[in-house]
Structures are given as C-alpha cells and as structure tokens.
Amino acid sequence: MDFSGAYSADHLIYLGKGFIVTLEVAFISIIFSFIIGSLVGTLRYADIPVLSKIMAVGVETIRNLPLLLIIFFTYFALPEVGIQLSISLATIAALTVFESAMISEIVRSGLSSIPKGQIEAARASGLTYIQTLWHIILPQGLKRMIPPLVSQFISLLKDTSLAIVISLPELLHNAKVIYNGNVNYVTPILLLTALMYFVVNYMLSLLSLALERRLDRDGKIKIAS
C-alpha cells in the first residue's frame, strides 16, 4: 500500500479550493435560510388565519422530503418547467428552501415556549402586538433558539456535500476527483476532508456553547422558567 503522494501540494490546493466553495455556499445559504426561516416561523407563530395554514402545509412537506431529492429536483427537473439554474445557484436555492423550513420550525417552537402570561402582561401594559413580539417575545425566544439554530447551521454545512450529485466543485467533490485517480489515496484524502469539516463544525458548536453561557450571564435576557 502506498499512501505517499496523497498529500501533495497540488492535491492540498485543490482541496482548499473545494473547501472555499463549501464555505461560500454554506454561508450564503445560512444567511438566506435564517432570514426566510425567521419570517415564516414568526408568521406561523402569529397565527394569521389562512396564511399560517398554507405555510404549515408547505413547511411540513419540505421538512419531510430528503434534501438530496430537493437538490436533484432543483437542478434537473426545474429546467423542464423553464427554470434553469447554474449548479451553484441550484445548490443554494435547494439548501435555502430546505433549511428555511427547518429553521422556521425552530423559530416557531422557540417563540411558543415563551409563557402566554408574558404576552398578556405586555399587552396589558399598553404595548401593541408587534411591539410585544419585538421587545418581549423575540429576545427571550432567541436565547432558547440558539442551540438548535447552530446545530441546524452545522447540518447545513455538512449537507452542502450532497451537492456532489450535481457536481458542485465543493470539498467532497474535489476529494473524490483526487482519489478517483488512485485507490490508495481514498483513505488519507477522506480522512483529511473529514477533519476539515470537523474543524469548522466543532468550532461552530463551541461558539454556540459560549454564546449560550454569555446570554445566561447577561441579566438583560433572563428567563424565569
């Protein structure tokens, strides 16, 4: 068995390029899905008669489908109805649709976990519904949402690897291109690739822990539970 040459400079640079694509796609998708997911989650929490019901059906459908299918569908099936997206746009669109649905559920259940008495007290003190949501419910809910949100972002970062099915030049795709040339490279290259994913994701989870502790200490956002 000959592992030497697996970590040559060319290979490392190529993996690095893939890593940058992974991070870019994940970052853009996190931003989009956070915005859309928060919006949908808040609207569902607000329980607007018809709109919330329609959103519930949409969210449940998307959440219960495999992301791989959504990515595949976005890139290969949408052109049949006249929507042609580039590989990276298709990945971002598919990730955003799927993760927004997941995040909207996190936001909705985070908001729902705030006791109803808080709303009543705020409304009784003369705040409008929007003011109550913005100043009372959101700040408290946000704290409870941080751990599940961060683990969802970690999922998203890992899920970018599914775009290998549409040949997005991300980290895993590039790793596969390298090791396809030599069967002895598979293990060392996959190990290095796994470490790269691990480092970013582990740092994210540490960040989440630090953030939680910080908010726990802050008197400003303290929950009586």
Q: Where are the beta strands (DSSP E) in the chain?
A: none
Q: How far is 190 from 194, CA to CA, in rounded Å?
A: 6
Q: Should residue 167 be labelled a site residue for another protein when binding is judged by CB under 8 A?
A: no
**Residue number, 40 or 133, with CB nearest to another protein:** 40
CA 29 to CA 158: how far, in whole Å? Answer: 12
Q: Does 161 bind another protein (CB under 8 A)?
A: yes
Integer Cα distance of 127 and 135 in angstroms? 9
Restricting to residues 172-201, which ones interact with another protein according to CB under 8 A? 172, 176, 179, 183-184, 186-187, 190, 193-194, 197-198, 201
137 versus 154: smaller Cβ distance to another protein: 154
Could you say whether residue 68 binds another protein (CB under 8 A)? yes
Report the site for another protein in 70-89 (rule: CB under 8 A): 72-73, 76-81
Cβ atoms of 142 and 120 within 8 Å: the answer is: no
In terms of phi and psi (left: phi > 0; alpha: psi -120 to 50; beta: otherwise), the region of 167 is: left
Site membership for another protein, residue 99 (CB under 8 A): no
Residue among 52 and 205 whose Cβ is closer to another protein: 205
User: Does residue number 63 form part of the binding site for another protein (CB under 8 A)?
Assistant: yes
How far apart CA 18 and CA 12 sit, in angstroms, is: 10
Give the number of residues in contact with another protein, rule: CB under 8 A: 40
Q: How far is CA 166 from the centre of its chain?
A: 19
How would you classify residue 86: left for phi > 0, otherwise alpha for psi between -120 and 50, otherwise beta?
A: beta
Q: Which of 202, 209, 213, 218 binds another protein (CB under 8 A)?
A: 202
Rank residues 48 and 83 by Cβ distance to another protein and give the closer one: 83
Q: Which is nearer to another protein, 76 or 129 (CB)?
A: 76
Cα→Cα distances 124→120, 134, 223, Å:
6, 16, 20
Q: What is the CA radius of gyration of the chain?
A: 21
Q: How far is the CB of 217 from another protein (least distance, A)?
A: 23
Closest CB 218 distance from another protein, rounded Å: 25
Residues 104-143 that bind another protein (CB under 8 A): none
Q: Which of 25, 90, 114, 154 binds another protein (CB under 8 A)?
A: 154
Q: What angle do CA 146, 29, 169 make, to 5 degrees?
A: 130
Interacting residues toward another protein by CB under 8 A:
1, 60-61, 63-69, 72-73, 76-81, 154, 158-159, 161-162, 164-165, 172, 176, 179, 183-184, 186-187, 190, 193-194, 197-198, 201-202, 205
